[in-house]
Structure 1
Amino acid sequence: MDIFQHTTDWIKGELFEGKLVLIFGIITCICAFLFYKVGTTPNAKALLFPLLIAGFMFVGIGGSMLYSNPKRLAEFPKVYQENPDAFVEAEKERVETFTKWYPTTRYVFAALGVLGVVLFLFWNKPIGKAIGIALLLMTIATYVVDHFSEERAATYYQLLKSYTPNN
């Protein structure tokens, strides 16, 4: 398989992930409304806004992935055909730039997860528990998504590094 096919596969993986994140966000928003509408306890009703905020964040993230990656899928063949070596170098730089964010994301969401647990355990009002649940949901979902995204990016980067120029 050539390097461009790997690039295409990587983008398709990002598109799949974007769809999953978008669907998860929509489901989270639906659940927020259901907890509010069907729930009979103050804790269930308090989930409305925290889950809506989390859901809208996931919808935004998934939507942005579905917006930006098809553009790449359309632009990359032309750029690759014009100069494969320059394309690979540009991709290496792009991947190096965004993979630096994975550790930061892990630490930020670890802190948010701890905050979620603390809020859930120690803020005895329904809104505190609801915010804690929403933070934990966001943390777990982000870890799942980023784990596979980081794995795909690392594999792709290794393939880019092993590319032999066509000089």
Structure 2
Amino acid sequence: MDILKTATDWTKAETLSSVVFILFGLSFLLASWGFWHWGKTDVAKAYVIPMLVAGGLLLILGLGLFIPNQARLTSVPLAHSTDASGFIASEIARADKVLNDYRIAVFRVFPLIIALCALLIPVLTFAHWRASLITTIAMLAIILIVDTNANARLEAYKAQLSLAARSG
């Protein structure tokens, strides 16, 4: 098993996930601009700021993942060639930490926030509140979709790392 190729492929897949966040961030910004430019109703105008904020947050998230992953593509071969067993051990520890973070944030906190927002939509009648709640649901749903895929990829990557560690 070529663990270096596995680590590089996993990093490239993570880079793709960050590009998806960037594209959705740009889509939200474009939607915000569209609501600002063509929105005639109070409801349409209410989406301008929430979409702008969500787009900015998704862009920050995407760029915050893209830049380190690009740097990681060059550092992985060096780390692996310097100390292969240390590299595998550090990757397993990092995977465990990220999987735990996913378990808490992505699979517990985000669904709870989505449910809370969904419950508040019928209660809050002010257009800005509803637009904010609906935009929050949309943004968190995108994060859930991308991170669920990333979680599955990370579990498979960790399994391959564990197999490589056992085989020595």
Do these two structures clear the TM 0.5 threshold for a shared fold by scoring above it? yes
Q: In the superposition, relative to structure 1, how do residues 166 and 79 fare at CA in structure 2: closer, same or farther (>3 Å)? A: farther
Distance 2:115 2:128 in 1: 17
Note the C-alpha offset of 1:115.
2.3
Distance 2:157 2:136 in 1: 31
**Contact 1:22–1:63 (Cα < 8 Å) also in 2:** yes
* Structure-to-structure mapping, 1:11-160, within 5 angstroms: 11-105=11-105, 106-160=107-161
Q: In the superposition, relative to structure 1, how do residues 110 and 164 fare at CA in structure 2: closer, same or farther (>3 Å)? A: closer
- Please, what TM-score do these two structures have when normalized by structure 1? 0.95
Question: Where does structure 1 lack aligned partners over 5 or more consecutive residues?
Answer: none
Note the C-alpha offset of 1:164.
4.1
Q: Kindly report the root-mean-square deviation, in angstroms, between the aligned alpha carbons of the 2 structures.
A: 1.4
Length, aligned pairs only: 167
- Please, what TM-score do these two structures have when normalized by structure 2? 0.94
Q: In the superposition, relative to structure 1, how do residues 166 and 51 fare at CA in structure 2: closer, same or farther (>3 Å)? A: same
Question: Where does structure 2 lack aligned partners over 5 or more consecutive residues?
Answer: none
Distance 2:18 2:90 in 1: 23
Which 4+ runs in 1 deviate beyond 2 A? 164-167
Q: Percent identity?
A: 25
Q: In the superposition, relative to structure 1, how do residues 164 and 100 fare at CA in structure 2: closer, same or farther (>3 Å)? A: closer
1:126 is aligned with what amino acid? A
**Contact 2:88–2:165 (Cα < 8 Å) also in 1:** no
**Contact 1:115–1:132 (Cα < 8 Å) also in 2:** no
2:152 is aligned with what amino acid? E
